[in-house]
Amino acid sequence: MKDKRDIKIGIRSDKEFFDELKELAGRLDEGWFPDKPVERLYFDNLPSLLKHLTPHHSCCLATHFSP
């Protein structure tokens, strides 16, 4: 049986991405660890997301990350 995996897909600027990364690194330094890892896939803008996240890729992600 496959383990459930979480994926977070979104649109983020470089600044937003690195701000989130700094926040998570700070929490890790304080001894916090997530219960389950969350995969993250961010794009700079909507056209880029739509270009790379084709229906075929969406289907592959759904199969790979489904419960």
Find the domain containing 15 and state its range: 6-65
- Structural domain contains residue 23: yes
Alpha carbons 41 and 34: distance in angstroms, whole number: 18
Alpha carbons 22 and 34: distance in angstroms, whole number: 15
- Structural domain contains residue 24: yes
- Structural domain contains residue 47: yes
- Structural domain contains residue 1: no
Q: What pLDDT, in 10s, does the model give residues 1-59? A: 466 678 888 999 999 999 999 999 999 999 998 888 888 889 999 899 888 888 777 77
- Structural domain contains residue 44: yes
- Structural domain contains residue 49: yes
Alpha carbons 60 and 66: distance in angstroms, whole number: 10
At 2 the pLDDT is 61
Alpha carbons 24 and 36: distance in angstroms, whole number: 14
- Structural domain contains residue 29: yes
Domain count, the chain: 1
Alpha carbons 1 and 18: distance in angstroms, whole number: 35
- Structural domain contains residue 19: yes
